Amino acid sequence: MISVNDDRNDLHFRKAEFDPEDCPPDCSRPCEMVCPANAILLKRMSEGDEIQDGSHARGKLQGGVITERCYGCGRCLPVCPFDRIRAITYIRDLATTSALLKRNDVDAIEIHTRGRTTELFKELWTGLSSSIGHLKLVAVSLPDNGESTVATMHMIYSIMKTDLECYNLWQLDGRPMSGDIGRGATKEAVTFAARISSMQDRPHGFYQLAGGTNAHTIDSLRKVGLFRAKNDPADSNALIGGIAYGGYARKIIGRVLRRIPSKHGHAHIEDYPELMLDAIKEAFNLVGPVKC
């Protein structure tokens, strides 16, 4: 699966960025402490170090955002006491995405939309329409926009249905990128699912939950009769058949990944079977109730 977006303002397609040399030497570095992905690493330079322009460091900071780790949660932005951090947004190129969809190793696409208008979605879909026939699944992820949500979903489905020859899935993004915060984060996601479930005219397709999902989500869904377990006929009429764990999955797997540098330096987890097994166990404990 590949993920695309129809709007440069989508939170899922941004990265934090700042120049550590702009940071005051006495900064307490709250950005580093608040980052859930350990994507900000700062080191105070010693007096004898030199920076790029040849001048002495004089206690300045070096490092910054590790782009590969940053997933755009934005928690660093409000905590910077000097307002030095920027959010850089991006959008996938249509030609490149279309070419990817025609490859044999890509059979699904996830389209993120803010759902406030369908014009951008239509533009994106039209640009990809010649490649959609290669897919087995099209997933559309959108947030809760109140009373207009279902109407927007119907409009999106009407745009897709002419070219749609595969399964379609709606991903209800209750509270984007917040599942690792705690138990309360899942309430908004479950509330979103409950409201969509109560509507008789909801659009065709499978449904899964995202945004604020964590270890408490399945129990919360079951309490309101919304979770459809794979092998439980009693749940066959429940709306939610899947759960996307984003930030929370990163958090629990990250506990294992962080053990690699401390024990082995830079390495791939596949090179260390004992850590790989631990990561698989963590993942299975999370998704087992959904898959089994």
> 224-231 contacts: CB < 8 A, separation 24 or more?
224/190, 224/194, 226/190, 226/193, 226/194, 226/197, 229/289, 229/290, 230/290, 230/291, 230/292, 231/292
Please give the CATH topology (third level) of the domain spanning 19-84: Alpha-Beta Plaits (3.30.70)
**Tens-place pLDDT, residues 149-205:** 999 999 999 999 999 999 999 999 998 878 777 788 899 999 999 999 999 899 999
**Tens-place pLDDT, residues 235-256:** 556 889 899 998 888 888 888 8
The helix (run of H) or strand (run of E) holding residue 197 is: helix 185-197
Q: What amino acid occupies position 114?
A: R
Does the global pTM surpass 0.85? no
Strands (DSSP E) found in 30-74: 40-44, 61-65
Domain positions in the chain: 2-7+92-250, 19-84
CB environment 34-73: b (16+ within 10 A), e (fewer): ebbbebbebebbeeeeeeeeeeebeebbeebbeeebbbbb
Please state, for a pLDDT cut of 70, what percent of the chain lies above it: 90
The closest of 153, 156, 163, 112 to 8, measured between CA atoms, is 112
Please give the CATH topology (third level) of the domain spanning 2-7+92-250: TIM Barrel (3.20.20)
Does position 228 have pLDDT exceeding 80, yes or no?
Answer: no
**Tens-place pLDDT, residues 192-221:** 999 999 998 999 999 999 999 999 999 999
